[in-house]
Every structure is written in structure tokens, then in C-alpha cells.
Amino acid sequence: AGAARTAQWLVIGLSISVAGFLTAGAFWLRRRIGPPLERTARVCSAIAEGRLDTQAPSGNRQDEIGQLETALHGMATRLRGIVGDVRGGSGLMFQGASEISQANEHLSSRTEQSAASLEETASSMEQMTVWNWLLWLVSNFQMTRSKPIPKQINNKCYNTNDRNGYHSRYFI
């Protein structure tokens, strides 16, 4: 009976010691692993929210947590670089689009000016054609009134004489 009781106290004491060691080990692991993981989680959350100016831990440790911190630091640095490049590229695209827009406006203006100039030229040519045709008609009428010309085709114009001996031309 005495030996059983001693063995029972020995098992209880050993169990309490093991529980104490396990509790101390858990606290030690919590203090050793917890803060770096919490810091890394905060940095990941900040980056996910778009705050790219958040500094990631540099990973001074030589264990898995240090490797995680080093990878996170490299990812954040590269992500900042990529976003900076995209912003720079979009600025260049905006500048290029603005230049294209201005060039289109200048081209449109020049096209309108050319159209107006062409319209003026066409109107002037029409006036000149009518005026020249009238001058030609009057001069030919005066020259041909005195002597009739037989019917002939000349430069797509028909020359005819009517019954009274008057010469006339008409165009096709």
C-alpha cells in the first residue's frame, strides 16, 4: 500500500512537471514566433489594402520566419517597383493620347480650311467658265454671223447653221 501510494505521488508529480514544461515551452514558442508572425500579418494586410509604402520586415532571423520575412520584404519592394512603372507608363500614355488629340484637332482645322479654299476655287472656276463661255459665244456669234460654217464636230461642240443663215454651237 505504501509503495502504491508513492508510485501514485510520483506519477502525479511527473505529470505536473511535464505539464509545467509544456506550458513553459508553449509560452516560449508564443513569444518567439508570435510577434514576428503578427508583424508579418499586419504588413500583408496593409499591402492588400493598397498601402504600398508599408515597410516589410527585413528578415534578420535564420529560421523559417526569417525566410518568410525576407520573401515578404522582396515581394513588397518589387510590387512598389511594378506599380511605379505602371504609373509612369500610364503617364506616358496620357501624354501620347493628348498629343494625338491635339494633332487630330490641327488636322481637322487644316481639312476645314482646305475644304473652304477648294470651295472658293470651285466657285471661282465656275464663274470663270461661265464668263469665258459668254465671251466666246459673243465673239463667235459676231464672227460667224457674216459667213455660215458647215456642220462639223469640233472639241465635242456641234456647229450648225439655221434656216436664216445664223451660225450656232451647242455642247454635248
Owner of C-alpha cell 508583424: 39
Cell of 149: 460654217
The letter for the amino acid at 90 is S
- The interaxial angle of helices 2-48 and 64-144, nearest 10 deg, is 20
pLDDT-based confidence at residue 162 (cuts at 50, 70, 90): low
pLDDT tens profile 16-40: 999 999 999 999 988 888 888 888 8
52-56, 96-100, 146-150: which is most confident: 96-100
- Of the listed ranges 41-45, 69-73, 131-135, 143-147, the one predicted with least confidence: 143-147
Indicate whether 171 pLDDT > 50: no
Indicate whether 135 pLDDT > 80: no
Indicate whether 148 pLDDT > 90: no
153: which strand partners? Answer: 158
Give me the pLDDT at residue 21, please: 95
**Contact between 152 and 140 (Cβ < 8 Å):** no
Cell of 99: 498629343
Cell of 128: 470663270
What are the b/e assignments for 5-40, b being 16+ CB within 10 Å? eeeeeeeeeeeeeeeeeeeeeeeeeeeeeeebeeeb
Cell of 139: 465673239
Range 119-143 average pLDDT = 72
Owner of C-alpha cell 518567439: 32
Indicate whether 172 pLDDT > 60: no
In order of 145, 159, 160, 168, the CA distances from 150 in angstroms are 13, 7, 7, 11
pLDDT-based confidence at residue 161 (cuts at 50, 70, 90): low
pLDDT tens profile 63-95: 888 888 888 888 888 998 998 898 888 888 888
Q: pTM of the prediction? A: 0.48
CA distance 80 to 50: 10
